[in-house]
Structure 1
């Protein structure tokens, strides 16, 4: 990791905020803030329009006539040559009745009532991580904390062996690049395809096991669920399982990792949370606003629509710049400052509309318990910046962040 880059004025169409530049992930906020204030509805050199102001992002999510795909049914971002395990057939990339059908099949596993029974399991995993860290005088935050919590929980919900977590970690980080593969180097795209193949093999084998020996888990529920007499086939099941694993795994690593980093770098906020445990839930919302792991997602207009004073055409691809919207000073005072007591937090980190992240309650539950335990049980920590690194994920997710206590 390097220090925060200074946005450059480049005559390349990106207005100093190229999301595919390696330096962008280190600290994208100066560049995104500049983009939002100077050109909030910006046509990129590769075609899509970036929407940066909070009000415009919310308006598109709530009101604009949009789809996840282009008029011909193809994805605006994904790899047309992707073979198996393609996100093009995942519920996230579908609209209307088909999206609603698939979402209903899994939504029950992620309601607050359904998640209530795993609260104790989350606390057990957090306690184990804290105990080990105190004994060792430090921890590798990603492996020992940010990854450990969501990986164990999603494995439990889906009924997957915990001994496979290391393999999931490699696969999911690589597979996130499929979301914007059309804009990435060929070697990255090929690595992403291979991860998709391997995940498809894995889940098709798991599905065969469940058909022969059903269990009390989400994968079995998907196999047995019926919607007007229609059951998911093995290929469709595998694709949904891959997407759910990534949705419940990778982004929550980012939330807990980025949030822990922010609390260490803002010790006054960590002390506030330590003294006021009731702020744990608000801390999660502020961490989601302050440093979201998903900096942008997409929508496609199905008819012309005015955004920020510009009428965009039918089939226009919109990149919703969630990180920029979350730092919009029109909505939040002093938005580049972390404040866990902030009232009326309005972030776009879980998207919006029909495609709002269905695992948001699980992510909030995991992060709330993780943040409170971290500040209440551990001494002051120092990040070893020279040994930090980002993961291979397309998202803003740390791959390594060792800390020492003092």
Structure 2
């Protein structure tokens, strides 16, 4: 890749932070609390998968439902109530006998319980669980006191001890779309027409970045038409991990073909340049990146972490391999590098699959059905 093009894609952590909403920028909209029926709290400042879910879902839900978030770290287009309006939640809403408090973290469940049980606010609490592990005793205690529980995948549902509804995440298909001309998009980025294989997300062992690099060190020397790109933030605790990977790449003479781009200001164009996407996580909550890649027309090779196995149709839209298995990951990637037409064929099938199965509207409708069952007095 041309140095100038690579430099243009880099974005430091501080620069990215400048683009995120600050307290001054994210002035809350005026919300009529009397009409408000759903509160989606966001009690974490740092951008996370949960925050991303709220940012995408709440504006869509707000088209047909009086809903607002409460908290920080949100973009200006998210309807949001002010903290000073919280006492208004102690009164019944105009159109229902109670509101719904939709929590996605422990601290948000606690907030809902305090409002409902201590201050007697007319609330029902919904909790969405994405965990792929057994919950700790305190979390189980909290979950047992919810009025309804949603699992983001069948796998996460297996770790719940209460009745629940499975609602898979969706994505905004208006935001994630294929490139008009992928080869041109690659060439404009300075890759000279190479096919791109990518792995996106924070650089850390949990995400399996090392497994991807290991596969690329083995495979790329035999497949000169491909370049690998890795995007994502490196936190202070994982600086040594990332430095070791880059040292291995340099030692193999592949520094110009396995590229760490750091954080990028807009991930969508990078998805659009990919022919193949790899999600090698060792463990995951849900994991949206394969859906985002598929919506941009890329085939996907993923581990069976998170909900990946529930997204991908083996031998049709990509492949699923055991989490943490470097050999299986390499073997699943190799046929695509050998036959780029296979990756393109599976990428077209992936695009059709995501459009049919994972639109964000479908997720919003399924969540609304949970709300409606509570309002109708049915069992959650």
Fold-level match, TM-score > 0.5?
no
| Greater strand fraction, Structure 1 or Structure 2 | 2
TM-score range relative to shorter protein? under 0.3
TM-score when scaled to structure 2? Answer: 0.25
Q: Which has the higher helix share?
A: 1
Larger radius of gyration: 2
What is the TM-score with the length of structure 1 in the denominator?
A: 0.24
